[in-house]
Amino acid sequence: MMPDFACTQCRAQLAEYVAGTLPEPASRLVARHLQTCSRCAGELDAWQKIGAAVRGIANPPVESSFSQSWDSLHAALASPTQRARSGKGYSNMDHDLRTTTIPFTPIPPQGPERPFTSGGRGKVRALVAVAAVLALIIGSAAIFGVLAQQRSPTVRGTGTMTPVPASSATAPAGASVKVYFSKHPDSDANPLAVFAVTRTTTRSSYLPEFAVQEELKGPTPGERAQGYYSPFASALTGVSICSASSQDFELIPDHRGQTFEAGTVTLRFCRQVNIAGDLDGPRMTAALQKTLLQFSQFKAVVVLNSAGNCFDDLRGGNTCLQSSQTSYAVHVYFSKHPDSDNDPALVFGVQRMSPTLGVATYAVAQLVAGPTQTEQSQGYYTPLGTSLQGASSCGGPDFIITLDHRGTTPQTGTATLQFCRQTLLAGDLTGARITAEITTTLEQFSNIHQVVILTETGTCFNDFTGQNSCLH
Verify that 224 and 116 share a domain, yes or no: no
Q: Which residues are CB-contacts of 64 (< 8 A; sequence separation ≥ 6)? A: 140
Verify that 202 and 314 share a domain, yes or no: yes
What is the rounded distance in angstroms from the CA atom of residue 63 to the CA atom of residue 330? 60
Work out how many domains the chain is built from and give that number.
3
Verify that 294 and 333 share a domain, yes or no: no
pLDDT at res. 87? 42
Q: What is the extent of the structural domain holding 189?
A: 176-321
Verify that 317 and 337 share a domain, yes or no: no
Verify that 98 and 116 share a domain, yes or no: yes
Verify that 60 and 83 share a domain, yes or no: yes
Instruction: Pick the last residue of a domain from 306, 321, 336.
Output: 321
- Residue type, position 124, single letter: V
The β-bridge relationship of strands 264-269 and 300-304 is parallel
pLDDT at res. 220? 96
pLDDT at res. 319? 85
Phi, psi of 211 (to 5 degrees): -65, -40
169 domain-assigned: no
Verify that 17 and 95 share a domain, yes or no: yes
pLDDT at res. 146? 45
Verify that 313 and 205 share a domain, yes or no: yes
406 domain-assigned: yes
pLDDT at res. 48? 67
Verify that 341 and 466 share a domain, yes or no: yes
301 domain-assigned: yes
Q: What is the mean pLDDT of each run of 10 residues along the chain (472 residues)?
A: 58 73 64 75 73 53 48 53 42 37 39 39 45 44 44 30 39 93 91 94 93 96 96 90 86 90 91 88 95 91 94 85 76 96 95 87 95 95 95 91 93 95 91 97 92 97 92 92
167 domain-assigned: no
Instruction: Pick the last residue of a domain from 287, 321, 355.
Output: 321
pTM of the model: 0.47
Verify that 283 and 235 share a domain, yes or no: yes
What is the rounded distance in angstroms from the CA atom of residue 279 to the CA atom of residue 454? 18
Verify that 299 and 182 share a domain, yes or no: yes
pLDDT at res. 120? 45
171 domain-assigned: no
The β-bridge relationship of strands 348-354 and 328-336 is antiparallel
Verify that 238 and 345 share a domain, yes or no: no
What is the rounded distance in angstroms from the CA atom of residue 69 to the CA atom of residue 63? 5
pLDDT at res. 113? 38
Instruction: Pick the last residue of a domain from 104, 132, 149.
Output: 149
Per-residue HEC secondary structure of the chain comes to CCCCHHHHHHHHHHHHHHHCCCCHHHHHHHHHHHHHCHHHHHHHHHHHHHHHHHHCCCCCCCCCCHHHHHHHHHHHHHHHHHHHHHCCCCCHHHHHHHHCCCCCCCCCCCCCCCCCCCHHHHHHHHHHHHHHHHHHHHCHHHHHHHHHHCCCCCCCCCCCCCCCCCCCCEECCCCEEEEEEEECCHHHHCCCCCEEEEEECCCCEEHHHHHHHHHHHCCCHHHHHCCEECCCCCCEECCCCCCCCCCCEEEECCEECCEECCCEEEEEECCEECCCECCHHHHHHHHHHHHHCCCCCCCEEEEECCCCCECCCCCCCCHHHCCCCCCEEEEEEEEECCCCCCCCCCCEEEEEEECCCCHHHHHHHHHHHCCCHHHHHCCEECCHHHHEECCCCCCCCCEEEECCEECCEECCCEEEEEECCEECCCCCCHHHHHHHHHHHHHCCCCCCCEEEEECCCCCECCCCCCCCHHHC
